[in-house]
């Protein structure tokens, strides 16, 4: 039997009991060109995910706006039912336009819909971690994050989200209380 690589050790996510390896898998590129539509080779996409988990990866970073919906459906097809200890971290805060544009989606209703899309497309009853993504592709958009965080906190209290994180926020937004 071959020993699995260490993947850089592991750590417990702050405020949780989840332990993840330092090396995870970012699923963004599983979708088609420009993170839109299906991949050119579905069998290869499925194989990459299965091999990553077989190699010891226990943390997948994804979002239902990759594709849209494509990446999460691939993850579900490749790995569901999920192995014990696999942590799936998704992002909310954007959606894709029909022209493949990236559109902010930070209203309460958009966050609720995005949560339910992620749950359905991943085949889960609860999302392990949801990162609120604020802003564009390369930098955050300024403004308060209180309203979207409040919406996510409500979804967490309903049991649909296990933990809430932040992605692509400014120092000022990070300091909000």
Residues labelled catalytic: 66
Cα–Cα distance measured from residue 47 to residue 14, given in angstroms and rounded to the nearest whole number: 31
**Per-residue exposure over 115-129, b if at least 16 CB sit within 10 Å of its own CB, e if not:** bebbbebbebeebbb
C-alpha 167 chain-centroid distance:
10
Q: Judge whether 30 and 69 are in contact, CB under 8 Å.
A: no
Cα–Cα distance measured from residue 162 to residue 122, given in angstroms and rounded to the nearest whole number: 15
Q: How is residue 120 written in tokens?
A: 């359905």
Q: Where are the alpha helices (DSSP H) in 58-145?
A: 70-79, 108-122
Could you tell me which of 138, 41, 116, 128 has the C-alpha nearest to residue 86? 128
């Amino acid at each position: 039997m071959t020993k699995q690589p260490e993947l850089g050790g592991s750590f417990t996510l702050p405020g949780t009991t989840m332990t993840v390896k330092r090396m995870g898998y970012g699923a963004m590129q599983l979708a088609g060109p420009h993170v839109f539509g299906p991949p050119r080779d579905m069998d290869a996409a499925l194989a990459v995910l299965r091999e990553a988990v077989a190699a010891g990866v226990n943390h997948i970073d994804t979002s239902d706006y990759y594709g849209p919906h494509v990446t999460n459906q691939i993850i579900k097809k490749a790995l569901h039912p999920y192995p014990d200890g696999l942590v799936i971290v998704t992002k909310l805060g954007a959606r894709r336009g029909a022209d493949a544009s990236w559109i902010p989606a930070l209203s309460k209703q958009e966050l609720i819909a995005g949560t339910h899309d992620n749950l359905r497309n991943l085949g889960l009853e609860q999302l392990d971690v949801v990162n609120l993504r604020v802003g564009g592709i390369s930098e955050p958009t300024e403004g308060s994050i209180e309203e979207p965080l409040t919406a996510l906190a409500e979804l967490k209290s309903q049991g649909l989200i296990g933990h809430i994180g932040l992605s692509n926020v400014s120092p000022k937004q990070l300091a909000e209380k």
